[in-house]
Structure 1
Amino acid sequence: MSSAISAVPRPVIYARQSVDEEQGIGQQLDDCRAECQRRGWQIAGEFQDNDTSASKERGPKTAWAAMLKAFDSDEFDTIIVTETSRITRSLVDVLDIRPPRRDIRVVVIREAIDTEHDDFMLKQLVLLAEREVKIKGARAARYAATRRAAGHPTPGKPPHGYRWVPQIERDSTGIRYRIDDAEAEDVRQIFREFLSGAPLGQIARDLSEAGRLTRRGSRWSSSTVRRVLLNPVYAALLAPAQPSGEYDATAIDLEACTPGSWGAIVERDHLVAARSRLIGTKPNHNGTARKWLLSGLAVCAVCSAPVRSARGETHPTARADGSGAAQTRRYHAYRCVQGHFMRNGDIIDDFVSEVCIARLSEVDAVQLVTPRADGVDVGVLHANREGLKTRRQSIARFVARGLMTDLEADDSLREIADEMRSISEAIARAVREDPLAELAEIDDVRAWWSGGTLARQRLLVEHLMTVKIHPVGHGKRVTNLDAAEKTVTIRWKRD
């Protein structure tokens, strides 16, 4: 370690900024290089910490740590910076570069500081900066508490379904989130399909195939759909703060959330139902995304094994006029895993679709789509949950007035938490939608079917019928709905 100033200084330049800006670091380097040139010093090195705070501990991977290591290896003896705040806003860091730990000469250009003569002013300025950081921190914490009490989210990019409202555009209530109608419909579809039983992967595929992409312009994935379903923001709930870098949506307690000031996209009960199905379940990021209506649903009429989708290929023969064969083409097909058939899937899908549309267009179809009553009164469950919240507040007042011991309060609060959890689970079960329920209010079934997602169409087939596909024999072709009817058997599950 070097403890004395050399006759000819060997300086390094240190540049730092808290926010990544294109010009900030470059300007610091230019000013320090000019100062070294003015003094006739040969620069021994340059160290840059971009997007790095000086009021927090700088880790071993920063340029600051590398610079200290270089000094310990006797590669330089002087640090030159533009301002004191570039070095640090903490006296602890100053003690890393000044005696007794290290004796590094520090030259600060704009504040005319040179520790070769005196380091009192350097330490004074750092102490003032450290005090300013603490005052700003306390002010920010107070503002954050006030903001949260009013139900306002932290600044930043809002989730899919909302747009950030700049301060100049806010009304008297100060609302920060505004619903984006197009994106909000994506969110509603995700909740609607998931609560109807659709897999995450199928929901993601349906959105992407319809051209409804994420805000970044990417295709949806199972993980992004899952994040939407877990996010309390969509029910206008502001979650408690979590440690920086440790956000976990599954750890959020909805009862500890603050009512948000923005508009909800989905109902709280639907959020509770979605979270109850996902929390405690290992995420499946691959998902089960089907591309065709009957893959995995229809069965072989011979062996009753589920059919799988496949890609068929035509093998045209030469034309009689000698002009050659038609072009080979690929087509969607269904195949029996036991090898009993491989058939063109498009005509079968069309036939099953027409059967569904015809059946659901009949007068008595409402009997098929009316959800079964389970005797659960969601209103009563809500009232019970609110009563438990009131009891929880009363216990806190009893403890504060000395009318209840901490031990007694813990037992009561644990009992209340268990009851509220049970109520939330009961509500979640009650609001899981029957996939056929919405059809009770639809007049044009064909339009609904044509505009519906593949996930919803598959759920309808799964709940209404069992489809059996028969072999047709080698070389035979089924090209119309009448022929398809003779080779596909449908057994109704709901009568």
Structure 2
Amino acid sequence: MTGTGGDSDARRKVQFMVARRKEAQEKALRVVLYVRISSDPGGLEKGVDRQEKDCRILADLLGWQVVRVFRENDTSAYKQKTITLPTGERVRRVIRPQFRELLTLLGRRGAEALIAYDLDRAVRDPRDLEDLIDTKVLAGFQVRSTTGSLRLENDADVAMARVLVAMANKSSADTARRVKRASQQQAEDGRWHGGMAPFGYRMKDSSLIPVPEDAVLVRQGADRILAGDSLYRVVRDWNDANIPSAKGTKWATTALRQILTNPAITGVRTYRPILDDGSLSKEVVLTTQGIWEPLLDREVFEKVGQVIASRGDAYRVERRGRTRLYPFSGMIRCERCGIVMRKQSDFYVCCMPERGACSRRISFAQTNAVILAHSPRRSPRPGSWIA
């Protein structure tokens, strides 16, 4: 009898523990995770992966159920941009779409808790912190971080968060100022600033090393422009020869124009500072001699730039209506789909945005002849013809 009673007690105890565990699981708070890293040029996302792993461990320890993860990789929580509100007002804001979506979800009570890796991963701008505080007051969710730096449970927690965010914001401002000054010093020394190397070069030790096969293309392109060829004809020939661009794709006239008008190919280092609004200055404020080998002589570079600029000016004059080299490009509409047709090679082709959706094309010369034969003898004005 005693043994049977002991077994019965043990069974009831197990059943009680199972019931309590089930009840705890049913009452587990729904939690969302927020992870962010400021810089990840390679897009590997290893930093946010580590943060998410630590946040999930904390959620498991607290017995909370993760319902969603908000990830912002290679996203600054400090840099501001100038935007225009729906009211027309221009303001400065930190742009973080995932953070804003997170606040929206918490505001409509889509979760009862938030876990971030650290305070400065969640917020680094005082305005963002106040938005988080306001949302918490209205929705009543809990806030945690794996480092313990983010808690908004009482007035003391909120005051401490405001102090820490102010300090983090100041630290970011100091770093930005030092980086800006270091970039200027690099320009003064004639060193390359980093980032993607201009076509024709590869980067090495704050300098540029010519890539022989690409350097040949740069010189060839410059020679052909000076000989009278257009940018379009050059890139068409390169594409026909299956010569890849810097990105491994087909060549475009805009890419070739940027290459041939970049002072770096003459061994010149230019510096444009970051403005107070976070944008890059359009004006070059410093020009020095770079420490790398030029691909083009300065005289040749300037002549190429003048030819390209003069052709651009002529094109803009034509666009104003004085003369149109292709008078009906963008004015004729396809009879099949109604989309405008533009001049390509010896044809007008349909500009349907979906590749392969419409292959309609008509002869350029024959179409012009037919339209001009039935039109007054004057420059065509905006309208639509059906072809």
Task: Place the TM-score, normalised by the shorter chain, in its bin.
Answer: 0.5 to 0.7
Counterpart position of 1:302: none
Counterpart position of 1:265: 295
Cα contact 2:31–2:66 (8 A) shared by 1 = yes
| Residue 50 (str. 1) matches residue 73 (str. 2) | yes
Q: Distance in 2 between matches of 1:265 and 1:77?
A: 61
| Residue 235 (str. 1) matches residue 266 (str. 2) | yes
| Residue 110 (str. 1) matches residue 141 (str. 2) | no
Q: CA deviation at 1:83?
A: 1.3
Q: CA deviation at 1:60?
A: 6.5
Counterpart position of 1:274: 304
For 2:215, the aligned partner's letter is A
**TM alignment of 1:13-92, pairs within 5 A:** 13-18=33-38, 19=40, 20-57=43-80, 62-92=97-127
Q: Distance in 1 between matches of 2:221 and 2:64?
A: 64
| Residue 138 (str. 1) matches residue 177 (str. 2) | yes
For 1:188, the aligned partner's letter is R
Moved more, 122-131 or 149-158: 122-131
The secondary structure found in structure 2 opposite 1:43 is strand
Cα contact 1:60–1:66 (8 A) shared by 2 = no
Q: CA deviation at 1:202?
A: 2.2
The secondary structure found in structure 2 opposite 1:75 is coil
Q: CA deviation at 1:181?
A: 1.9
Residues 193 and 96 from structure 1, CA distance in 2 versus in 1: closer, same or farther, beyond 3 angstroms?
Answer: same
Cα contact 1:54–1:90 (8 A) shared by 2 = yes
Q: Distance in 1 between matches of 2:44 and 2:175?
A: 22
Residues 102 and 282 from structure 1, CA distance in 2 versus in 1: closer, same or farther, beyond 3 angstroms?
Answer: farther
**TM alignment of 1:295-306, pairs within 5 A:** none
Counterpart position of 2:360: none
Q: CA deviation at 1:32?
A: 1.8
Q: Normalising to structure 2: TM-score of the pair?
A: 0.61
Q: Distance in 1 between matches of 2:280 and 2:256?
A: 17
Residues 116 and 256 from structure 1, CA distance in 2 versus in 1: closer, same or farther, beyond 3 angstroms?
Answer: closer
For 2:37, the aligned partner's letter is Q
Q: Distance in 2 between matches of 1:21 and 1:77?
A: 31
- Between the two structures, name the one with larger relative contact order (CA 8 Å, sep ≥ 6): 1
Cα contact 1:162–1:179 (8 A) shared by 2 = yes
- Superposed CA offset, 1:406-437 (max 9, x none): xxxxxxxxxxxxxxxxxxxxxxxxxxxxxxxx
Q: Distance in 2 between matches of 1:71 and 1:218?
A: 43
Q: Distance in 2 between matches of 1:100 and 1:42?
A: 21
Cα contact 1:186–1:212 (8 A) shared by 2 = no
RMSD across aligned positions (CA): 3.5
- Superposed CA offset, 1:104-145 (max 9, x none): 532112236432254144333323322221221121122111
The secondary structure found in structure 2 opposite 1:79 is strand
- Superposed CA offset, 1:135-190 (max 9, x none): 2112112211111111222111211111101x3xxxxxxx5111222211111111
Q: Distance in 2 between matches of 1:123 and 1:252?
A: 38
Counterpart position of 2:233: 202
Residues 112 and 190 from structure 1, CA distance in 2 versus in 1: closer, same or farther, beyond 3 angstroms?
Answer: closer
Moved more, 13-22 or 51-60: 51-60
Q: CA deviation at 1:283?
A: 9.8
For 1:38, the aligned partner's letter is L
The secondary structure found in structure 2 opposite 1:177 is strand
Cα contact 2:118–2:149 (8 A) shared by 1 = no
Gaps of 5+ in 1: 1-6, 168-174, 289-307, 310-336, 339-495
| Residue 178 (str. 1) matches residue 178 (str. 2) | no
Cα contact 2:191–2:290 (8 A) shared by 1 = yes
Q: 2:192 aligns with which of 124, 144, 153?
A: 153
Moved more, 149-158 or 275-284: 275-284
Q: 1:123 aligns with which of 162, 166, 172?
A: 162
Q: Distance in 2 between matches of 1:13 and 1:257?
A: 47
Aligned residues: 273
Q: Distance in 1 between matches of 2:304 and 2:261?
A: 7
The secondary structure found in structure 2 opposite 1:89 is coil
Gaps of 5+ in 2: 1-26, 81-92, 316-324, 326-344, 347-364, 367-387
Cα contact 1:13–1:47 (8 A) shared by 2 = yes
More strand by share: 2
Q: Specify the structure having the higher radius of gyration (Cα).
A: 1
Residues 205 and 9 from structure 1, CA distance in 2 versus in 1: closer, same or farther, beyond 3 angstroms?
Answer: closer
Residues 100 and 22 from structure 1, CA distance in 2 versus in 1: closer, same or farther, beyond 3 angstroms?
Answer: closer
The secondary structure found in structure 1 opposite 2:65 is coil
For 2:127, the aligned partner's letter is V
Counterpart position of 1:226: 257
Residues 189 and 69 from structure 1, CA distance in 2 versus in 1: closer, same or farther, beyond 3 angstroms?
Answer: same
- Superposed CA offset, 1:316-363 (max 9, x none): xxxxxxxxxxxxxxxxxxxxx99xxxxxxxxxxxxxxxxxxxxxxxxx
Q: Normalising to structure 1: TM-score of the pair?
A: 0.49
Q: Distance in 1 between matches of 2:305 and 2:283?
A: 10
Q: Distance in 1 between matches of 2:263 and 2:220?
A: 16
Counterpart position of 1:190: 221
For 1:257, the aligned partner's letter is T
For 2:62, the aligned partner's letter is R
Q: CA deviation at 1:201?
A: 2.2
Cα contact 2:33–2:69 (8 A) shared by 1 = yes
**TM alignment of 1:244-255, pairs within 5 A:** none
Cα contact 2:106–2:135 (8 A) shared by 1 = no
Q: Distance in 2 between matches of 1:54 and 1:247?
A: 19
Cα contact 1:95–1:101 (8 A) shared by 2 = no
Residues 283 and 114 from structure 1, CA distance in 2 versus in 1: closer, same or farther, beyond 3 angstroms?
Answer: farther
Q: Distance in 2 between matches of 1:111 and 1:101?
A: 17
Q: Distance in 1 between matches of 2:179 and 2:94?
A: 24
Cα contact 1:239–1:252 (8 A) shared by 2 = no
Cα contact 1:11–1:77 (8 A) shared by 2 = yes
